Amino acid sequence: MNAVDFILAGMLAAATPMLLAALGEMVVERSGVLNLGLEGMMALGAALGFITTYSTGSHALGFVVAALGGAALSLLFALIVLGFVANQVAAGLAIGILGTGLSSLFGKNFESLTIDGLPKLALPGLSDLPVVGVLFVQDAVVWATAVLALAIWAVMTHSKLGLIIRAVGENPHAARAIGFGVLRVRCGAIAFGGALAGIAGAYASTVYTPLWADGMIAGRGWIALALVVFGTWMTGRVVFGAVLFGALSLGELTTQAAGVNIPSQLLACVPYVVTILMLAVISSNRRRMRLNTIASLGQPFER
Amino acid sequence: MRISFVRRDHASRPAMLLAPVVAFACAIVASVILFTALGKAPGQALYSLLLEPFLTWYNFSEVLLKMAPLLLIAQGLAIGFRANVFNIGAEGQLIIGAIAASALPVWYPQGDSALMLPAMLVMGAGAGMAWAAIAAMFRTRFNANEILVTLMLSLIAAQVLNYLLLGPWKDPHGFNFPQSVMFPDAALLPILLPGTRVNISLLFALVASVLAYVLMRHRFAGFQLLVGGLAPRAARYAGFSEARAIWLSLLLGGLAAGLAGAAEVAGPLGQLQRSVSLGYGYSAIIVAYLGGLNPLGIVVSAFVMSVIYIGGDNAMVSADLPVAAVWVFQGLLLCFYLAGLTFIRHRVSFSRKALP
């Protein structure tokens, strides 16, 4: 398998953890809340998902528990920032630290254990195409994520629910004046984002690299946060960014496999460096950022 | 009945003082429940966590040792946090500071010049500043969010450290451990309290606290910084610059973290190690918030956090708790504190009907 095939075949799976987390966070931020705890919620989901799948043998159950764990942690965040009107940046950091700590606490007895991943499913017809055919042989979660991305796009742009979420994010006081429960909508969005972050973590630990290692999320939650900015809060662009990053992280492996003499630690920096550069390129257009940024993002809502 | 928060006319002083204490109590209760659920002995864990650090002079001196980097970094970060500049990459600035400071003793392991130590400290502080300056440049020049940039820079710094310790800077006689050579005496900080490992970096941290207090209370620059961060537009009308607030916040934060990193390698470690930072950069964020972003409060919260660090080390042995338990406790503590802060500016109101 040459490098191009390898990247094409693997980039969607590599993108999936970041994409799931980023899609959830995008909805949360659209409702006007910034949850910086993504990394912690992913780590918790990864630990819970792995432990459940390892103990029961069921991937589905692993994802359910991970989603519940992520949602539970995000509801704690919701309680602090919505119920107690706290600073969202600080609360997000607290949740991040708490989630990361809980993941190593729970995962301690499972260190370096492995499980089986999920089988790849080929999309009949498309998977026989030359060159790009490998793109259409993916595991069930990748397919489900693709469907979910479409669904989120449809809901956010073409449904009343999407309109309400965006209204709450752009002008919570106006949204309240016409009768929408701002806190209720935000709470729902936060729980949704938390559940997706949990699933994202579980995908990383039970399917993509089916093993538990402390610290295995390795900044992917933060990259997902950057992807939301990169995608200027639009589903299609977030998907594009995530796939780009998936390809990039595989490029790192192929460079190593090709025997290029660059220390692996420095190659591991590439996604982080690219994240910074990408943020700079997108954000430097201040006018476009101001047009796209959610107006009430990060501001507490008080009547 | 409906329970809601109503804004107070004036901030409540009792709530301000009570919030951290109540949060601390709640965090203890929550961790006891959690540790019991995990089948650990909570009594033993609490004893180790909260009492043992005070029971022997050695343990207490270790608390003071840990306090130095936490206090120093938290004072630096709080300057930025007060101005709404969120440097959460102190971890990376500390690591880069430690690397830069280690360059001299790694290259001159036999060095005995009296200038070695001061040069190391200057290099560490300068490198921490430079690392933070990258984020300041990206923020002011390209409008890139400093939270994400500083965090990414931390992840990069950790990889650079790994690279150096597994490659060029690895001690050739170190049995293949990822660590540098042991530093010569000329590269080590003088001990402050004889018979302990507490070195003069504690004085740096205390001096930094005084300087932070003076900056906040008595300097026009401190006021400009505050306004520049809190109300960029008002600041612009008044002729204060937002960019200056960003630069100043990040440079001071980086300086403090870099100096702390230099003091770690020149202090208790005596060499560059992978575990040069035990998450001080992240804990310092919590320290800064728990201290109410106030230079005096931060001295208290840094002490409390060091107790938890040392207590956590003890609990690892005596109650079979993993290191992560300390992170769980710190996370809970900040969660409760942030919730408690609400009572400073709000009071609870019980009303029959929903407000119109």
User: To the nearest whole angstrom, how far is the Cα of B327 from the nearest Cα of chain A?
Assistant: 5
Average pLDDT, chain A: 92
At A65 the pLDDT is 98
**Per-residue pLDDT at A123:** 84
User: How does residue B1 score in pLDDT terms, banded at 50, 70 and 90?
Assistant: low
Bridge partner list, B199: B191
User: Which candidate from A102, A283, A302 shows the least CB-CB separation from B145?
Assistant: A283
State the number of CA atoms in the 13 A half-sphere of A302 facing the CB: 13
CB-closest option in A86, A275, A283 to B143: A283
Return the structure tokens found at B148.
Answer: 């994400």
- For residue A51, pLDDT beyond 80: yes
**Are the Cβ atoms of B325 and A87 closer than 8 angstroms?**
no
Distance from CA of A123 to the nearest CA of B (A): 37
Flag whether residue B5 sits within 8 Å of chain A, measured between CB atoms.
yes
Residue type, A62: G
pLDDT category of residue B10 using cuts at 50, 70 and 90? confident
Residue B217 is predicted with a pLDDT of: 79
Which chain A residue is nearest to residue B292, measuring alpha carbons? A90
The secondary structure of A40-61, three-state, reads HHHHHHHHHHHHHHHHHCCHHH
Question: Band of the pLDDT at B354, cuts 50, 70, 90?
Answer: low
**Structure tokens that stand for B162 in this block:** 């790994």
Q: Is the pLDDT of residue B356 over 70?
A: no
Mean pLDDT, rounded, for A88-108: 94
Phi (first) and psi of residue A258, to 5 degrees: -75, -5
Domain locations in chain B?
A: 41-320
Closest Cβ–Cβ partner in B138, B141, B325 for A105:
B325
Instruction: Write the DSSP symbol of residue A126.
Output: G
Average pLDDT over every residue of B235-247? 78
Tell whether B90 is within 8 A of chain A (Cβ): no
- What pLDDT score does A126 carry? 85
Phi–psi pair at B107, nearest 5 degrees:
-80, -30
CB contact under 8 A, B155 and A265: no
CATH topology of domain B41-320: ABC transporter involved in vitamin B12 uptake, BtuC (1.10.3470)
Q: Which residue has the higher pLDDT, A142 or B275?
A: A142
Does residue B252 register a pLDDT over 60? yes
Q: Do the Cβ atoms of A263 and B167 come within 8 Å?
A: yes
pLDDT digits over A213-239, tens only? 999 998 999 999 999 999 999 999 999
- Tell whether B162 is within 8 A of chain A (Cβ): yes
For the stretch A256-273, pLDDT in tens is 777 777 888 888 898 899
Question: Hey, how many other C-beta atoms are within 10 angstroms of the C-beta on B2?
Answer: 10
> Which pLDDT score is estimated for A188?
97
> Which residues of chain A have a CB within 8 Å of the CB of B153?
272, 276
What does the DSSP assignment read for A92-117?
HHHHHHHHHHHHHHHHGGGTT-B---
The residue length of chain B stands at 356
**pLDDT mean across residues, chain B:** 89
pLDDT of residue B352: 65
> HEC profile for chain B?
CEEEEEECCCCCHHHHHHHHHHHHHHHHHHHHHHHHHCCCCHHHHHHHHHHHHHHCHHHHHHHHHHHHHHHHHHHHHHHHHHCCCCCCCHHHHHHHHHHHHHHHHHHCCCCCCCCHHHHHHHHHHHHHHHHHHHHHHHHHHHCCCHHHHHHHHHHHHHHHHHHHHHCCCCCCCCCCCCECCCCCHHHCCCECCCCCCCECHHHHHHHHHHHHHHHHHHCHHHHHHHHHHHCHHHHHHCCCCHHHHHHHHHHHHHHHHHHHHHHHHHHHHCCCEHHHCCCHHHHHHHHHHHCCCCHHHHHHHHHHHHHHHHHHHHHHHHCCCCCHHHHHHHHHHHHHHHHHHHHHHEEEEEECCCCC
Query: Which residue of chain A is at minimal alpha-carbon distance from B38?
Result: A106
Q: What is the mean pLDDT of residues B27-41?
A: 87
CA nearest B86: which of B261, B246, B257?
B246
Of B138, B331, B335, the CB nearest to A280: B138
Instruction: Note the pLDDT of residue A302.
Output: 79
Please give the pLDDT value at position B229: 62
Chain B residue with the nearest C-alpha to that of A262: B163
pLDDT, residue B353, reads 58
How far is the C-alpha of A169 from the C-alpha of B301, rounded, in Å? Answer: 35
Contact B335 A266 (CB under 8 A): no
CB nearest to B285's CB, from A85, A93, A289: A93
> Which of B6, B156, B333 to mutate against chain A (most A CBs within 10 Å)?
B156
Cβ of A102 within 8 Å of Cβ of B328? The answer is yes
Chain B nearest-CA distance from A66, in A, is: 18
pLDDT at A291: 84
Digit-coded pLDDT (tens) for B281-322:
999 999 999 998 999 999 999 999 999 999 988 888 887 788
Residue that wins the pLDDT comparison between B226 and A298: A298
Using alpha carbons, select from B59, B117, B69, B111 the residue that is nearest to residue B94. Answer: B69
B356 or A40, which is more confident? A40
- Show the tokens assigned to B275: 């575990």
Q: Report all structural domains of chain A as residue ranges with CATH numbers, in order of start.
A: 3-292 (1.10.3470)
Report helix angle A59-78 to A38-56, nearest 10.
150
Span B198-217, pLDDT tens digits: 999 999 999 999 999 998 87
Mean pLDDT within A156-160? 96
Q: Does B332 touch chain A (CB under 8 A)?
A: yes
Q: Give yes or no for a contact between B65 and B197, defined as CB atoms under 8 angstroms apart.
A: yes
Instruction: Give the tens place of pLDDT for each residue, B103-147.
Output: 999 999 998 889 999 999 999 999 999 999 999 999 999 999 999
Residue B239: what pLDDT? 67
pLDDT value for A173: 94
